[in-house]
């Protein structure tokens, strides 16, 4: 399946610099419709207002983490099918397993480049 470069993407991170980096990487890959949120709570509110084609979320945030956001999204009938990529600085096996159990579509460990991001996004939409 060809990637839809027009699909809206939500980038969730409490670190403004990381949002800018991911936004720039997505633009390099050709994506144009990119929103952002500073934490899981804000992201969840935005997701209830607009249907996103992909969510790319940091794991560690306050007050709602990316992991908590993922679990909430997967329990919401209207949002549960939204593709979700988790981003983290930690490559702990137990985190990866927990995220997979919670229904994450893919996982990226920081730091990463446009090629890595492209591969992860393509893997999510491969089926």
**Domains in the chain, please, with CATH?**
9-91+104-124 (3.40.50.2300)
Q: Which two tokens stand for residue 85?
A: 């990529």
C-alpha distances out from residue 87 to 12, 31, 83, 109, 110, Å: 9, 18, 13, 6, 7
**Single pTM value for the model:** 0.96
CA distance 80 to 73: 5
Q: pLDDT tens digit string along 54-77?
A: 999 999 999 999 999 999 999 999
Q: pLDDT tens digit string along 11-68?
A: 999 999 999 999 999 999 999 999 999 999 999 999 999 999 999 999 999 999 999 9
CA distance 56 to 10: 6
Report yes or no: 37 and 69 within 8 Å, Cβ to Cβ. no
Q: Is the per-residue pLDDT at 1 higher than 80?
A: no
Give the model's pLDDT for residue 92. Answer: 86
């Amino acid at each position: 399946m060809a990637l839809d470069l027009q699909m809206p993407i939500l980038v969730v991170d409490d670190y403004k610099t990381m949002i800018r980096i991911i936004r720039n990487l997505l633009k390099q890959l050709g994506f144009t419709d990119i929103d952002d949120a500073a934490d899981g709570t804000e992201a969840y509110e935005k997701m209830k207002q607009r249907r996103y084609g992909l969510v790319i979320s940091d794991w560690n945030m306050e007050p709602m983490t990316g992991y908590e956001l993922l679990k909430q999204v997967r329990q919401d009938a209207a949002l549960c099918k939204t593709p979700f990529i988790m981003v983290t600085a930690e490559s702990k096996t137990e985190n990866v397993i927990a995220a997979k159990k919670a229904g994450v579509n893919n996982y990226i460990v920081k730091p990463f480049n446009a090629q890595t991001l492209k591969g992860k996004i393509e893997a999510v939409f491969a089926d």
